[in-house]
Amino acid sequence: MKKKVLDSWKRPAEVEIPELSERYPQQLEFNFGPRDATPEEFNEWWESELKPKGDGQLKFVAMMAVVQLLTLVFMMTAFFIIGLGLEK
């Protein structure tokens, strides 16, 4: 579409105006939905990623549970010792 306008020196000029769809580009539509994995892909994923990471996490969680229990025991021991000192 051509439009008559004045240029910077106020002379009449015709300018080509692109269509609305050309002036405002739109983002393409993406399909982000994952496809279903085949049983072979799932087994490979389980063996190479999930199982080793899960085994490591189990040890870590068990160790942190022991640390938490020891912290509680030390705290109660400190309360007991402080209580003995305050009785005098």
Read off the pLDDT of each residue in 68-76 and give the average, rounded to a whole number.
98
Residue 62: per-residue pLDDT: 95
Domain for residue 16, yes or no? no
Q: Is residue 43 part of a domain?
A: yes
1: Cβ–Cβ under 8 A, 6 or more apart, which residues? 16, 17, 19
Distance CA 71, CA 82 (A): 16
3-class SS shares of the chain: helix, strand, coil, % to 5:
60, 10, 30
- pLDDT tens column, 2-22: 888 888 888 898 988 777 665
Residue 20 pLDDT: 67
Domain assignment of residue 71, yes or no? yes
Question: Is 56 inside a domain boundary?
Answer: yes
Residue 51: which of 61, 40, 43 has the closest Cα? Answer: 43
Domain count of the fold of the chain = 1
Residue 30 lies in a domain: no
Q: Please check whether residue 29 lies inside any domain of the structure.
A: no
pLDDT tens digits, 9-65: 888 989 887 776 656 667 778 777 888 999 999 999 999 999 999 888 999 999 999
**The whole model's pTM is what?**
0.47
Residue 70 lies in a domain: yes
Q: Which helix (H) or strand (E) element contains residue 15?
A: strand 12-16
The pLDDT assigned to 74 comes to: 98
pLDDT of residue 21: 62
Is 25 among the domain residues? no
The residue range of the domain holding 63 is: 38-88
